Amino acid sequence: MIKVKNDWTWVVERVNRELNGNTELEEKVYQYMDEKNIDLDRVKEMYQDGIEHGEENGKYLTFENWFNEFTN
């Protein structure tokens, strides 16, 4: 669990930071985007929705953990 902000700028920066240099996660995300015919901004929106509805005491899953749980 990480400290989160339900804020679009924070979400964009967090997702970009976690994707940067993590080729395994990046491949999974881009494969999912291809399968669902969506763009990265839509994935970020879904993560923000998850934060809005799943935040506990200002904490939530990292993007990578959320994505893995969301897609399994």
pLDDT of 56 reads 74
What residue ranges of the chain have pLDDT lower than 70? 55
pLDDT of 54 reads 78
Characterize 21-41 residue by residue with b for buried, 16 or more Cβ atoms within 10 angstroms of its Cβ, and e for exposed: eeeebeeebeeeeeeeeeeee
* pTM, to two decimals: 0.87
Angle between helices 63-71 and 8-19 (to 10 degrees): 80
